[in-house]
Amino acid sequence: MKKTNTHFTLIELLVVIAIIAILAAMLMPALQQARERGKTTTCVNQLKQIGQAMFSYQAEYDDFYPWSSYTAHKWAWIFYQKYLPSRKAWKCPSASVFTNNYIDGSEDVLNCAESNLQSRFTSYMPYGYNYVGFASTRAWGATLNADVVFGVKVSQVRKPSIKILLGDSARNNADGTPKLDTQCGCNLWFQPTSTSWSALHDRHGGESANIGWADGHVTNEHDSRFKYIRIDGSEDTAVKRHWMACTVK
């Protein structure tokens, strides 16, 4: 029998290429979603590790929550030195959205020089601690100076499963949007319109943030930036319920 050779025609080749391109376009969103879910899960696990470090601190310091303040942010640096000495555990996988803090390696907790590490843990941390609700006179729902240290003990926290302790954070613009081109500190505040503070930051998929609660569990919350407060920042019942550790409501 005569042997024949078959070849793709140009039209057939173009059809195959077009089919591959269509399949790739269909799969790309799913791959991106899977990648983002992986980042979100990694971030959840890191916040759980920080929560465990919090428990270790409490065991060592008579069940008190760590001290911190608006002008002196020490808790993350202490935790890194004593309980969680892994740089990677302190950088949210989605922190690349910060145009100033993490694009430049010198500002990155993963890559900065050892001599700069303490300042990065106090000024360039993508995770915030609700120190106002756990280490100030506001913990009881008062409106006194939030910079006054007033330690809270674990036994004083009411309904810890609904008290926000830690979370993805970013500094604020005056209009309530996250300010991504400046240092974000390492403390968490309930007013996303306050330009002096960092608030919850919905950076996972552009729509959700991870929150560590006082009882140790971590959840991913959609639209968290305004979910637990009133937009005008008033200290109403909802604010006290989730942000003030010792309030009953």
What pLDDT score was predicted for residue 1?
A: 56
Alpha-helical regions (H) of the chain = 10-60, 75-82, 117-123, 131-134, 224-227, 237-243
Mean pLDDT of the chain: 84
Which contacts qualify for 14-19: CB closer than 8 Å, 24 or more apart? none
Q: Residue 16 above 50 pLDDT?
A: yes
Q: What is the mean pLDDT of residues 125-142?
A: 86
Cβ count near 104 (within 10 Å):
11
Range of the domain at 25: 10-243
CA dihedral in degrees (153, 159, 160, 164; nearest 10)?
A: -110
Q: Residue 70 above 80 pLDDT?
A: no
Confidence of residue 233 (pLDDT cuts 50, 70, 90): very low
pLDDT above 70 covers a percentage of the chain that reads 83
Confidence of residue 216 (pLDDT cuts 50, 70, 90): very high
What pLDDT score was predicted for residue 148?
A: 64
CA dihedral in degrees (133, 147, 228, 152; nearest 10)?
A: 0
Q: What is the mean pLDDT of residues 228-233?
A: 62
CA gap 169, 180 in Å, rounded: 10
77 with 191: CB under 8 angstroms? no
User: Measured between alpha carbons, how far is residue 120 from residues 64, 108, 112, 141, 183 in Å?
Assistant: 25, 7, 8, 31, 9
Cβ count near 9 (within 10 Å):
9
Q: Where is average pLDDT lowest: 16-20, 22-26, 65-69? A: 22-26
> Does some domain include residue 249?
no
Q: Residue 24 above 80 pLDDT?
A: no
> Does some domain include residue 39?
yes
Three-state SS at 204: strand
Three-state SS at 205: coil
Confidence of residue 201 (pLDDT cuts 50, 70, 90): very high
Three-state SS at 74: coil
Place of tokens 């109403």: 236
Number of folded domains in the chain? 1
Q: Residue 244 above 50 pLDDT?
A: yes
Three-state SS at 92: coil
Higher per-residue confidence, 104 vs 162: 162
> Does some domain include residue 1?
no
> Does some domain include residue 44?
yes
77 with 119: CB under 8 angstroms? no
Higher per-residue confidence, 103 vs 136: 136
Q: Residue 52 above 90 pLDDT?
A: yes
Confidence of residue 140 (pLDDT cuts 50, 70, 90): confident
CA gap 201, 59 in Å, rounded: 30
Q: How do residues 164-173 score in pLDDT, each as one tens digit?
A: 999 999 999 9
Of the candidates 170, 215, 176, the one whose C-alpha atom is nearest the C-alpha of residue 188 is 170
Higher per-residue confidence, 96 vs 234: 96
